[in-house]
A and B are shown apart, each in its own frame.
Chain A
Amino acid sequence: MKQFDLAPVRHPAPASLDVVPVAEMSEATRAIRLTPDFDVETLGTALDHLDLIIVTFPIFRDGRGFTQARALREYFGFAGEIRAEGHLIADQAQFLRTCGVDSVSLADDSDTTPWLKALSLFPATYQSRLGLRA
């Protein structure tokens, strides 16, 4: 897999981190992979020790990862890297970025052109035009 950055990552996680399923995390864990049904509120203070959280998309139509990412940023102030993994399509690039996702994992041989194009397509969101913070 290769990483594709949706935006300049504020606090990039070190490349060598060992990613652990959220159910198996311990105090030493610095990178976790969430399942879409996971309630991020239950992470509590464990968030402070994490550098990387991976939100997952079993199919691209399952949009729970958007809400998880947003809650991590907005409610719990998570400042580390959020990465999206799974079945994603380039049309989702802007949505992911707006919800606070920094990067996506893509297959090594996948073409990043559609992702670059999608990011350049629509500059201002409708929500921001209404004065919402998105």
Chain B
Amino acid sequence: MNAPVGLYQYQTADREFLASRITEFEGQVQRRLDGELTEDEFKPLRLMNGLYLQLHAYMLRVAIPYGVLDSRQMRKLGHIARRYDRDYGHFTTRQNIQFNWIKLEETPEILRQLADVDMHAIQTSGNCIRNVTCDQFAGAAADELMDPRVHAEILRQWSTLHPEFTFLPRKFKIAISGSPQDRVAARFHDIGIIARPGENGPLFRIFVGGGLGRTPLVGHELFDAVPESDLLMTLEAVLRVYNAYGRRDNIYKARIKILVQALGIDGYRKAVEHELSRMNPDHYRLAPETVAAIKARFAAPDLTASPEAESKLLQDRRGNVEFDRWVRSNTHPHFAPGRIVVTVSIKPAGGIPGDATSDQLERLADLADQFSFGELRITHLQNVVLAHVPQDRLVELWQALTDIGLGDANHELIGDIVACPGLDYCALANSRSIPIAQKLSARFADNALQEEIGKLRINISGCINACGHHHVGHIGLLGVDKRGEEFFQITLGGRDDDHSRTGDILGAALPEDDMVDAIARIVDRFLSVREKGEQFLDTLTRLGDAPFKEAAYETV
């Protein structure tokens, strides 16, 4: 078996399923084009296949299970962007990719092309269990306790066409990590799972009821240590309670977080335990052989590196200030000596966060082949990871990335902005999120300045639905409508790591045209009051928001 590194090798059954599903959808599209189906009748059918209708065109959201894909798949995405879209694709905060300008009649063909490389758009919309997200440094980070991808794949299979949970009150998002450094925002998911090794096999800490949107809530710990055998049984029980009792009268009250809030975490736990007490464990047990069989469908890369790799990297860094800066911001320690984890920024100065051209997609595929076993990951900050790069070849990779405009040294810095599609694509928007993101990223384009500012995340949502996660931005911007004009409300202090909290509103919303200056004033104030070694959040904690408020409203 010639399995790809880092992701699960499809079986014949998976392929047959996809083929029959596309044939079915092709018939539905034809019936829509012939006028046999109304848009109302067609809507649920297209959504089941990941096809949305945005402000100006159809959008196709393609699933990238746990954010991992191989070079052949990436190349195909590039091809689709070029052939069927306007030459670019957009990586999302849920580790998927979207194509924004799709023609309805071409969708079956696109889906067939995707299926050729074992990809699809199923369960990327609708009130089902959505694509499970995962730590983008899985199986590579030095700080990881356990590679969560095998269990992410198990969750993928378990949640695919689940007979009972495909028509839930609302969409359902699960994230899993195997590192104590939470990189998946576990506490802001319907279910967040942190895996760790135990004496008798893996243990899973389970959070429930987190989420953003109109009612941002931090998830609660439901169980601290669920053993592997009981993982699926526990999740079934959690979902069963939600499916039966979650609200269906108001879509803004329908997420599990609202039910957890209503019952209290202890009440929810009791309900889950009641389900568990009635379930037959023999019917739900996840057997070690099953886990082993799935694990066998992941290829393990040979991570040995040249003994000189580390000293070669040190030497390369000494000779090149810019490269050295990029290594500081855009790499992460690998557990294997001589290897390093690279985050490729898809946030070039002045660019649209998460957008990549077909050329860039294809070049990334080539670079994955050359430097990282043909494997790539998408991050929930809309960047791309090459996880296993040999240190002695890092400078070569950096040069290649710079050549295609993806060499920015801004990972987790102020230029690494997350923005929702906003008014450029979305009918619900109050304001344009993308142009603000572009202006901010141009304003702070200088990578040296970004490094000086340090860790500072800006998140922008065009309306209260919070698709841009503004609640968890260190600086969050929320588009509001004031008498038909675009305004933004600023929040400070949000974060989605292991100290998760939502940001606090700074004051009255500011008009769009003062926004970039206001952020610049906040940043300037920070630089003038910070103490040595402090990051933005540290200074904010020490001083409160008064100095930043003063700066933001200085000219008003």
A95 touches B157 (CB 8 A): no
CB nearest to A89 among chain B residues: B44
B162 touches A127 (CB 8 A): yes
A126 touches B161 (CB 8 A): yes
B532 within 8 A of A: no
B79 within 8 A of A: no
B158 touches A126 (CB 8 A): yes
Given A63-B165, A63-B167, A121-B24, are A132 and B283 neighbors across the interface (CB < 8 Å)?
A: yes
B215 within 8 A of A: no
B278 within 8 A of A: yes
B48 touches A63 (CB 8 A): no
Residues of A97-134 at the interface with B, using a CB-CB cut-off of 8 Å, are 98-99, 121-122, 124-127, 129-134
B163 touches A99 (CB 8 A): yes
Given A74-B279, A98-B163, A131-B285, are A67 and B290 neighbors across the interface (CB < 8 Å)?
A: no
CA distance A75 to B277 in the complex (A): 10
A49 within 8 A of B: no
CA distance A50 to B17 in the complex (A): 38
| Cβ contacts under 8 Å, A96 to chain B | 163
A48 within 8 A of B: no
| Partner-contacting stretch, out of B194-202, B240-248, B421-429, B507-515 | B240-248
Contact of B283 among A60, A95, A133 (CB under 8 A): A133
| Chain B interface residue bracket vs A | 35 or more
CA distance A131 to B286 in the complex (A): 7
A61 touches B286 (CB 8 A): no
Given A61-B167, A64-B243, are A91 and B48 neighbors across the interface (CB < 8 Å)?
A: yes
CA distance A68 to B240 in the complex (A): 10
B24 touches A64 (CB 8 A): no
B163 touches A130 (CB 8 A): no
CA distance A134 to B44 in the complex (A): 25
CB nearest to B28 among chain A residues: A91
Given A122-B20, A125-B163, are A130 and B243 neighbors across the interface (CB < 8 Å)?
A: no
B10 within 8 A of A: no
A56 within 8 A of B: no
Distance of A13 from chain B, by nearest CB (Å): 23
A62 touches B248 (CB 8 A): yes
CB nearest to A41 among chain B residues: B278
A130 touches B286 (CB 8 A): yes
CB nearest to A39 among chain B residues: B244
CA distance A94 to B279 in the complex (A): 22
A99 touches B164 (CB 8 A): yes
Q: Count A-side interface residues using an 8 Å CB cutoff.
A: 33
B284 touches A133 (CB 8 A): yes
Interface string of B6-35 (1 = CB under 8 A from A): 000000010001001100100000000000
| Cβ contacts under 8 Å, B127 to chain A | 61, 63
CB nearest to A117 among chain B residues: B24
B160 touches A121 (CB 8 A): no
Given A60-B44, A75-B278, are A134 and B243 neighbors across the interface (CB < 8 Å)?
A: no
Distance of A131 from chain B, by nearest CB (Å): 5
Interface string of B196-238 (1 = CB under 8 A from A): 0000000000000000000000000000000000001000000
A78 within 8 A of B: no
Residues of A58-103 at the interface with B, using a CB-CB cut-off of 8 Å, are 60-64, 66-68, 70-71, 74-75, 89, 91-92, 94-96, 98-99
Residues of B272-319 at the interface with A, using a CB-CB cut-off of 8 Å, are 278-280, 282-287, 290
Residues of B356-391 at the interface with A, using a CB-CB cut-off of 8 Å, are none
CB nearest to A62 among chain B residues: B248
CA distance A94 to B48 in the complex (A): 15
Interface string of B425-463 (1 = CB under 8 A from A): 000000000000000000000000000000000000000
B53 within 8 A of A: no
A63 touches B164 (CB 8 A): yes
| Cβ contacts under 8 Å, B45 to chain A | 91
B136 within 8 A of A: no
CA distance A96 to B290 in the complex (A): 26
| A residues neighboring B (CB under 8 Å) | 39, 60-64, 66-68, 70-71, 74-75, 89, 91-92, 94-96, 98-99, 121-122, 124-127, 129-134
21 sampled A-B residue pairs with Cβ under 8 A:
A62-B167, A63-B167, A64-B244, A64-B248, A66-B164, A67-B240, A74-B280, A95-B163, A98-B164, A99-B163, A122-B20, A122-B161, A125-B163, A126-B158, A126-B160, A126-B162, A127-B162, A129-B13, A130-B290, A131-B286, A131-B290
- Top 10 nearest A-B pairs (CB, nearest first) are A63-B167, A98-B163, A133-B283, A95-B163, A75-B278, A126-B160, A66-B164, A126-B157, A67-B243, A67-B244
Further pairs besides A129-B13, A130-B154, A131-B286: 5, Cβ < 8 Å: A66-B165, A92-B167, A94-B163, A95-B163, A95-B166
